[in-house]
């Protein structure tokens, strides 16, 4: 089974040691209208987490969410959330793919109720 690219919808995803990318990937200097899908295994390391596994990347590319446990915030606090694949608009006009954090809705209550 070949996994289809979430960006161009027709390229197959290639798996490498450092990343997952579309066979139609145009590269960082390529035309912004061409396929730009690349997902780095190390995207979550700045939050104290190891690299993305192949299984996690496959689930993200299929549009599923993955559990993310014991991440570390900039202030050093631990947190849990889910992650989903997201396309980010960069300041240079290009797009970049990353794991977006999804936090569960917290139950709020009014004092005195």
- pLDDT 10s digits, 93-111: 667 899 999 988 765 556 6
Q: How large is the average pLDDT for residues 83-92?
A: 83
Cα three-residue angle 47-53-54, rounded to 5 degrees: 145
Average pLDDT, the chain: 86
| Parallel/antiparallel/unpaired status of strands 38-40 and 19-22 | antiparallel
CA 36 from centroid of its chain's CA atoms: 14
Opening angle at CA 84, ends 31 and 32, nearest 5: 5
Dist. CA 100–CA 113, nearest whole Å: 35
pLDDT tens figures, 59-81: 999 999 999 999 999 999 999 99
């Amino acid at each position: 089974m070949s996994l289809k690219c979430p960006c161009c919808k027709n390229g197959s995803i290639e798996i490498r040691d450092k990343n997952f990318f579309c066979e139609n990937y145009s590269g960082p200097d390529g035309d912004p209208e061409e396929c730009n899908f690349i997902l780095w295994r190390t995207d979550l390391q700045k939050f104290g987490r190891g690299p993305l596994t192949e299984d996690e990347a496959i689930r993200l590319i299929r549009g599923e969410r993955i559990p993310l446990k014991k991440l570390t915030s900039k202030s050093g606090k631990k947190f849990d959330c889910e992650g989903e694949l997201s396309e980010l608009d960069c300041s240079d006009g290009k797009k970049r793919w990353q794991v977006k954090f999804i936090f569960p809705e917290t139950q709020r209550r009014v004092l005195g109720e």
